Every structure is written in C-alpha cells, then in structure tokens.
Amino acid sequence: MGEMLYQRDVYGKTLVELGRENKDVVVMDADLSSSTRTNIFAREFPGRFFNCGVAEQNLMATAAGMASCSKIVFASTFAMFATGRAWDQVRNSICYNHLNVKIVATHAGLSVGPDGATHQALEDIALMRAIPNMNIIVPCDGPQTREAIIAASRIPGPFYIRLGRPKFPTLENKGEFVFGKAQVLMQGGDVAIIACGTMVNEAVSAAGSLLKKGVRARVINMHTIRPLDAGVIRLAAEETKGIVVCEEHSTVGGLSSAVGEVAAETRPVRVKRLCVRERFGQSGESSELLKEYNLTSGDIEKAAAGIVTGNDT
C-alpha cells in the first residue's frame, strides 16, 4: 500500500505552489481553514487569503464577485456547508455567471467519522451535478488531489472538488491525470468496478481478491464526475457482464446515478450500486462506518462476484 496522505494537506500545499506561480490566485474559507488546510496558503500569502467567518453564503457570493474581477478563487469549507448551505449562491452567483471559482470541499462522505450525520455530506455530488456549468472532480488520493487542483486552476469556470477527512493510501501507477478522462487501473472483462474517492482503493483491493478466485474485474477510477467519461462506461457495459459502482454518497444523484444514466441511455447493462441508501450517516470511526454502510472491499467483491455468477439478487 502506498503512502498515507491527507488530501487536504496536499490541497493546502498545492495552493501555495499555485500562489507562487500566479498572483491572481486567491483563497477563501469560512472558519475552517485549519481543517481544510487553506491555512497553509494563508500563512504564506496573508494578503490573498480571506476568511469569511461562519458565513458560507457570503463565502460563495463573495468568491463570485472576486472572480468577476479576474481572480482565480479557491473557496473552501466542509462539503456539507459548501454545497448545502450555499447552494443558491453556488448556482446563481457562481455557475450561472460561469465564474472562475473552484470550490474545494473537504470532509465529504461517511469517512468524516465521529462528527456524525450533520457533518457527513452524502448528497453533495448530487447537488453540484444538478447545476449547469459545474465541473466535478473527486480525486482518489493525495497525489491526485494535487493534479486535480492544478488542472482546475487552469480551466476557466466553476469546479467542485471533493476531498475526504482521513488519510488515504496513495495508489501507485495510476498514470497521468487527465481531466474528464477516467483511469482504468486494472484490466478485466468479467465485471467492471467504477469508483471515486476513498472507494477506489477498496475497489482495487476487491479486484485483487477476485483475481485470486479467477474473476477478472476491470477497475475504473472515475475521478471526474462532470464531464463524465461516457466512453469508458459504454465500453465496460459492452465488454463485461455488469458494473458495480461504489461511492461514499447517496444512491440519489451521485456517481452511481451518473453511470446508471449513461448505461440506461446507451448500453443497458446490470448496474449494482454500493452507496448509501435512504439513510443519514452517524458517529463512528471511518472504518466502522464504511463497514456499517456496506462500503468495504468485501462488499464490492461480493457484489462483483454476484454479477459474474448471476446470483445477484
């Protein structure tokens, strides 16, 4: 297993890198800079860092105003508040005006852990995916976080980048990150596993176990959720017996919905979804929660094997 890294640490350091390169890079936060790690940038460039206090609506609309004056604005807070509290501002001030604001939200999904349900965003991808003009990236580990942040900084327009709270293992040999193009991490023609964020590592583990049992699973890291790499989904649908999608998100509107939509519209195929179904999160350690909500490599393995054998009730 690769190095364990906090995506948010990588985010903070990457901001400094970008800040040195370009004086128009500005960073904003809403009283969570020590958690989102935008404080790393704030220490280096205090004149280009703006704390809005606990006021997410103001955070997003102010970011829009700054972007209208040619700034590249990174706006950060927890995923729950970035997307839920300030959705109207994100839609009407940022996306409708197609402004250059990069919302980098941390503490997404169940793996937030002990803070519990109010802090575990399970609907954020759905909320952002519903807005025209919004680009969405869910990096799978530390190094990919850096690549995603740099890519977003160079492409004009709004972005939502979703990061987790705990340390993630670094996945080796992923190849180059290309915005909008999924990474096939393991080849296989029996079943396809599509994942994003934390779940990519679980998917790779599951595929490893399956391989020992003679099942060849294709593992796809769908780091870009908007625009979605529909080609890789169509190929998976054509060349395998079915698709397993897993993510730390609700079954409604996230990656699994997006994959299902492409499959239903172009290549109908069995899509089994490992997501959170009609439930809120709760307190617990990350690993306990992923187990409780059936989001482990074991669950993925079972779902994939079910598709291959046809015993997938």
Partner 1 sequence: MMKYSESHIKELRERAKQIRRLIVQMLCKACSGHPGGSLSSTDLVTVLYFAVLRHRPQEPLWPDRDRFHMSKGHCCPLWYAVLAESGYFPKEKLWTLRQLGSMLQGHPDRRTPGVEVGSGSLGQGLSVACGMCLAGKMDKKEFRVYCLIGDGEMQEGNIWEAAMSAAHYKLDNLCVMLDFNGFQIDGKVADVMNVEPVKDKWKAFGWNTIEIDGHNIKEILSAYDKAAEAKGKPSIIIAHTVKGKGVSFMENMVDFHGRAPTKEETETALRELQ
Under the rule (CB under 8 A), what is the footprint of partner 1?
26, 47-48, 50, 52-53, 55, 57-58, 60-71, 73, 88-89, 91-93, 96-99
Nearest approach, Cβ of residue 157 and partner 1 (Å): 13
Q: Name which of 156 and 310 has its Cβ closer to partner 1.
A: 156
Distance from chain centroid for Cα 174: 16
Q: Name which of 84 and 260 has its Cβ closer to partner 1.
A: 84
Nearest approach, Cβ of residue 295 and partner 1 (Å): 36
CA 232 – CA 234 distance, rounded (Å): 6
Rg (CA), the chain: 19
CA 72 – CA 55 distance, rounded (Å): 20
From the list 56, 123, 202, 301, the catalytic residue is 56
Alpha helices in the chain (DSSP H): 7-21, 33-36, 39-44, 56-67, 79-80, 87-88, 124-129, 142-154, 199-212, 230-239, 255-266, 286-292, 297-309
Q: Is 190 within 8 Å of 215 (Cβ atoms)?
A: yes
CA 156 – CA 117 distance, rounded (Å): 34
Amino acid symbol at 237: A
Count the neighbouring beta carbons within 10 Å of the beta carbon of residue 170.
18
* Distinct helix (H) and strand (E) counts, the chain: 13, 14
Nearest approach, Cβ of residue 98 and partner 1 (Å): 8
Q: Name which of 42 and 140 has its Cβ closer to partner 1.
A: 42
Please choose, from the candidates 187, 224, 182, 179, the residue with its C-alpha nearest in 3D space to the C-alpha of residue 204: 187
Q: Name which of 58 and 266 has its Cβ closer to partner 1.
A: 58
Q: Name which of 29 and 147 has its Cβ closer to partner 1.
A: 29
Nearest approach, Cβ of residue 47 and partner 1 (Å): 7
56 is catalytic: yes
Q: Name which of 96 and 179 has its Cβ closer to partner 1.
A: 96
Strands 49-51 and 183-186: unpaired
DSSP string of 51-91, one letter each residue: E--S-HHHHHHHHHHHHTTT-EEEEEEEHHIIIIITHHIII
Nearest approach, Cβ of residue 61 and partner 1 (Å): 3
Nearest approach, Cβ of residue 132 and partner 1 (Å): 13
Sign of CA dihedral 26, 81, 132, 223: positive
Nearest approach, Cβ of residue 90 and partner 1 (Å): 10
Q: Name which of 94 and 204 has its Cβ closer to partner 1.
A: 94
Q: Which residues are catalytic?
A: 56
